[in-house]
Amino acid sequence: MKKIAIIGGGPGGLTLARLLQVKGFTSVTVYERDVNKEARVQGATLDLHEESGLAALQEGLLMEPFIANYRPGADKMRILDKDANIIADEHAGKKDETRPEIDRGPLRKILLESLTEDTVVWDSQFADMEKSGDGWLLHFKNGTTSYADLVVGADGANSKIRPFITPIRPFFVGMTALEGSVYDAENIVPEMFELVKGGKLFILGDSKTLIVSAKGDGTLSFYAGFKSSADWTLNGNLLDWYRREFKGWAPVYETLFANVSGGFIPRPQYCMPLDQDWEALPNVTILGDAAHLMPPYAGEGVNMAMLDALELSRCLVKHKNMQEAIEVYEREMRKRASATAAMTLTQTELLHSPEAIRNMMEIVGHV
Stretch that binds ligand FAD, among 78-86, 232-240, 283-291, 312-320 (CB under 6 A): 283-291
327 scored as a contact of ligand FAD (CB under 6 A): no
User: Least distance to ligand FAD from the beta carbon of 72, Å?
Assistant: 17
Stretch that binds ligand FAD, among 59-67, 114-122, 235-243, 299-307 (CB under 6 A): 299-307
Select the residue interacting with ligand FAD from 4, 5, 6, 8 (CB under 6 A): 8
Angle formed by the axes of helices 322-351 and 356-363, nearest 10°:
130
User: Least distance to ligand FAD from the beta carbon of 8, Å?
Assistant: 3
Stretch that binds ligand FAD, among 3-11, 165-173, 247-255, 326-334 (CB under 6 A): 3-11
329 scored as a contact of ligand FAD (CB under 6 A): no
User: Least distance to ligand FAD from the beta carbon of 239, Å?
Assistant: 20
- Of 181 and 259, nearer to ligand FAD (C-beta) is 181
146 scored as a contact of ligand FAD (CB under 6 A): no
User: Least distance to ligand FAD from the beta carbon of 177, Å?
Assistant: 5
103 scored as a contact of ligand FAD (CB under 6 A): no
- Of 13 and 105, nearer to ligand FAD (C-beta) is 13
106 scored as a contact of ligand FAD (CB under 6 A): no
299 scored as a contact of ligand FAD (CB under 6 A): yes
Contacts of 111 (CB under 8 A, 6+ apart): 11, 14, 15, 17, 18, 62
The binding track of 197-236 with respect to ligand FAD, each residue x by CB under 6 A or -, is --------------------------x-------------
HEC string for the chain? CCCEEEECCCHHHHHHHHHHHHCCCCCEEEECCCCCCCCCCCCCEEECCCCCHHHHHHHCCCHHHHHHHCCCCCCCEEEECCCCCEEEECCCCCCCCCCCEEEHHHHHHHHHHHCCCCCEECCCCEEEEEEECCEEEEEECCCCEEEECEEEECCCCCCCCHHHCCCCCCEEEEEEEEEEEECCHHHHCHHHHHHHCCCEEEEEECCEEEEEEECCCCCEEEEEEEECCCCCCCCCCHHHHHHHHCCCCCHHHHHHHHCCEEEEEEEEEEECCCCCCCCCCCCEEECCHHHHCCCCCCCCHHHHHHHHHHHHHHHHHHCCCHHHHHHHHHHHHHHHHHHHHHHHHHHHHHHCCCCHHHHHHHHCCCC
User: Least distance to ligand FAD from the beta carbon of 320, Å?
Assistant: 27
74 scored as a contact of ligand FAD (CB under 6 A): no
152 scored as a contact of ligand FAD (CB under 6 A): no
Select the residue interacting with ligand FAD from 4, 5, 29, 32 (CB under 6 A): 32
- Of 82 and 160, nearer to ligand FAD (C-beta) is 160
284 scored as a contact of ligand FAD (CB under 6 A): no
Tell which residue, 84, 90, 136, has the closest CA to residue 256. 84
The binding track of 112-141 with respect to ligand FAD, each residue x by CB under 6 A or -, is -------------xx---------------
100 scored as a contact of ligand FAD (CB under 6 A): no
Nearest-angstrom CA–CA distance, 278 and 329: 12
Q: Are 337 and 272 in contact (CB under 8 A)?
A: yes
* Site residues for ligand FAD per CB under 6 A: 7-13, 31-34, 46, 125-126, 154-156, 160, 177, 179, 223, 267, 288-290, 296, 299-303, 305
